[in-house]
Amino acid sequence: MESDGATGSINNGDAEVERVPMESFKQRKRDTIDRFARPGAIVLLLVWGTVLLLRSILALRGNSSGDDNVPVYHLPNSSHTDEGCLKVSFANVRNSTFQPVVKSLQWISTPDSAYHDKGLFVTIADDTYVVRSVFDEDFSKVLLNASTFQYGDVKYNVDSLVASPDLSKLLIRTNTISNWRHSSFGTYFVYEHESSSFHLIGDNLAIAEWSPNSIDISYVQDNDIYIYSTKHSKTTNRITFDGSELIFNGKPDWVYEEEVLEGDKALWWSPKGEYLVYYRIDETDVGEFSIPYYVQEQDDIYSKIRKIKYPKSGTPNPIVELWVYDLANDYAYSADIQGGREEPAFPLLLTEVAWVGNSKLIAKTTDRSSDILSVFLVDAEKQVSKLVRENSSDGGWWEISHDILHIPKNETNGRRYDGYLDVMPVDGFNHLVYFAPVESSVPIQLTHGKWEVVNGPAAFDYQSNIVYFIATRESSTERHLYSVNLDTPKELKAITNTQDNAVYDVSFSAGSRFALLSYKGPDIPYQKIIDFQSYKHDKKIKGNVIGETLYYLEKNDALAARLSLYDIPPKTFQTLNLGKDENGYDIVANSFEILPNGFDPSLKDYYPVFFYAYGGPNSQQVLQSFSVGFNEVVASQLDAIVVVVDGRGTGFKGKEFRSLVRDNLGDYEARDQIAAAALYGSKSYVDSNKISLFGWSYGGYLTLKTLEKDAGQHFKFGLSVAPVTDWRFYDSVYTERYMHTPQENGHGYNQSAVRNVTAIAEATRFLLMHGTGDDNVHFQNSLKFLDLLDLAGVENYDVHVFPDSDHSIRYHNANIIVYDKLLTWTKLAFTSSFINN
């Protein structure tokens, strides 16, 4: 073989070997290496790439090694299940895909309603307000045939209306401006049906209320009370003259609106409209809290400041007096609610007022820490007051309630005296009691047992002496309707079908013959109208086992059709044994869990757990009602198990269970959440390093307190929204009911505050969010907490602040953002995607 040119050649046999220069040899060597190395490198890369790909696939789907299943958590498909069903998402929660239609009836009370109940109610059809009867289909009375009206040169929208008792006139509110949670201001008109005319009462009125006489209207303007006469079409009386920024007449201040009356009015007409009783609230000594607002106007360069008289724990409360106005004599006087006793060092709380006769009323007061309940009978005609009973809370507290229902005298029906129904603790559980006559100090007990009556008596049938009420007799997570007769106490009848787990609500017509029964879950809600005096009975039992169903107001068939397209993560109600208490007794708490779509219990160390908690005293989250919301979004979108636990301190399980937290908020509640987390963390299918806790308001406080007590052992992540962080910062009426004052219980306040931030730092990471315009739980709470984090050098957290949002966090699209943030942040936590500082 010959070599061509400078390369030479190699011959076999006896041929002479030609010498090759060194440079030429090196080049030939490189050529040879390149010829073989390039394909080898490509093969090597292909093999290594295949290994990496296989490892990635196994990491996503889970790898099996022998008998051990070692899955790796990953986010599921966000829109469909493996079977092709639609999943719950924020989009369909926010567009009300899963929202049941819930209708309400504005029942009408006329002078003869108690004994001639036609089931009258107001309804709206084609922008026309009409009075109809559930009993007489032919009855119809048009109140107003438009949702707008013209007065002078101005067109007004009807925001709300209330018919006079005789149905001849309407009280209309328009130009409504929201104030605090329950209160608003507006322009009020009277509409005369007969003359089809409108009459202006006034602008910027806080409230306006019909008198039972259908002539007079009481209203509050600039914190003073006036009487408007429809007979004369003008204001005829001014009852008070001292209304100001510090003196509230007939209208609650901030703390009485939020914590005591839970509404916007503090005045009540007597049954015949002869007297008007009202609160006079003096805030002079109450501390002032300033809230800056930053984004109210686009061009503002200075913040706007709103000042609130807000009594914080241990500081002066407003002074409240009870006044009675006599219309006939145009005279008002201050009723004695001290019982002749020396006025206490701190003002009393005036918690409930109710007329129990044409000229008599019951007034309930407590000391500021709700230890002692005092009940007064006030005689407006004689202008005298009498302390009729006084009860100790016996280690618990007196929860503020509005349960009194007047039972009028009627000798024909066996009622010799005016009396009233109330709810009182009996052997540690809240039950119905009957006081007759009204000055009685010892009641007749109507119900008993280890269950509780909820929200007092629902209604009273004036002809049959039957009392209707909602109770937890079947389960503390259920609500059924029952009845008991005044003549046969403790003999109860179930009105709803107690064979099925259910939550019911009810509203009654004026004479309690008819009712709107609302089934609220756990299945799809429905509403029906029932006649309790019908001789007919339902052929098919659905809801009620007593009374005839006249018709369904709402079946929610459209919701049922929509739900058939979705795979809603199942919710299971249960009780959890959280271990033993200090006395060796089992701690049994109500709970529910929501399992993600396609839940597979055979997976090992796979599922994250998302706890949601509120946990405040006497509260309840575990209720068997229908809902599809944020918790279902978390389960569907994050493939997480959602758990809600009502630990000790929560309501409807008796005094012993709830009063344990007295003077020591945050301790037992946190222990029970930790015990539940330990229980779930021990389950084979749970990844114990991905357990989180989310809460808002008291739940936000409980989240931080639990992270503090747990110190990263079980809860690795926390999401706290609008939390209290120190109970000295919260309002006196709520806090002192459970904690007494800081002066009396300094140690308890120190223990209950969120202070050990280095323990919280043991968690992997936590999130804090708050609105700067929160008038309820002041932003001060989060700022003080952030300062503690700074001082301790803690940095494993994230913060989102919502400018000018109040406690509900809704201002300027904030409610969308807050929930998006909660979901996104949790997603990062569960996928280990945080870059920790």
What's the per-residue H, E or C state across 537-551? CCCCCECECCCEEEE
The owner of tokens 């999943």 is 87
Is residue 577 a contact partner of residue 658, using CB atoms and an 8 Å limit? no
* Closest CA relative to residue 754, chosen from 643, 656, 665: 665
CA distance 437 to 522: 41
CA angle 327, 329, 330 (to 5 degrees): 60
CA angle 44, 50, 56 (to 5 degrees): 140
Respond yes or no: is residue 774 known to be catalytic.
yes
Question: Which 8-state DSSP code applies to residue 16?
Answer: P
Is residue 349 a contact partner of residue 252, using CB atoms and an 8 Å limit? no
The owner of tokens 């024909």 is 412
Respond yes or no: is residue 431 known to be catalytic.
no
Give the active site residue among 567, 774, 775, 804: 774
Q: Per the omega criterion (within 30 degrees of 0), is the bond before 569 cis?
A: no
CA angle 246, 251, 256 (to 5 degrees): 80
Three-state DSSP class for residue 670? helix
Is residue 292 a contact partner of residue 303, using CB atoms and an 8 Å limit? yes
CA distance 510 to 753: 48
Q: Give the residues across from 376 on adjacent strands.
A: 363, 387
Helix axes 814-830, 630-638, angle to 10 degrees: 40
Provide CB contacts within 8 A for 429, sequence distance 6+.
Answer: 449, 450, 451, 452, 654, 655
CA distance 553 to 548: 14
Give the active site residue among 374, 697, 732, 782: 697
Q: Structure tokens of 642?
A: 């959602």
Provide the b/e sequence for 662-686 (b: ≥16 CB within 10 Å): bbbbbbbbbbbbbbbbbbbbeeebb
Provide the b/e sequence for 402-426 (b: ≥16 CB within 10 Å): bbbbbbbebeeeebebbbbbbbbbb
The owner of tokens 């913060």 is 799
Q: Structure tokens of 83?
A: 């079977």
Respond yes or no: is residue 697 known to be catalytic.
yes
Residue 57, Cα to own-chain centre: how many angstroms? 44
Amino acid at 62: G
CA distance 734 to 262: 12
CA distances from 578 to 375, 447, 681, 712, 718 (A): 40, 31, 13, 19, 21
Give the active site residue among 406, 480, 778, 807: 807
The owner of tokens 């809704």 is 810
Is residue 243 a contact partner of residue 214, using CB atoms and an 8 Å limit? no
What's the per-residue H, E or C state across 640-657? CEEEEEECCCCCCCCHHH
Is residue 161 a contact partner of residue 172, using CB atoms and an 8 Å limit? yes
Amino acid at 427: D
Which long-range contacts link 652-661 to residues 24+ away (Cβ below 8 Å)?
652/452, 652/454, 652/472, 652/476, 652/620, 653/476, 653/590, 654/428, 654/429, 654/450, 654/452, 655/396, 655/425, 655/428, 655/429, 656/428, 658/396, 658/617, 658/618, 659/395, 659/396, 659/397, 661/617, 661/738
Instruction: Outline where DSSP puts E strands in 356-426.
Output: 360-366, 372-379, 384-392, 405-407, 419-426
Q: Which residues are catalytic?
A: 697, 774, 807
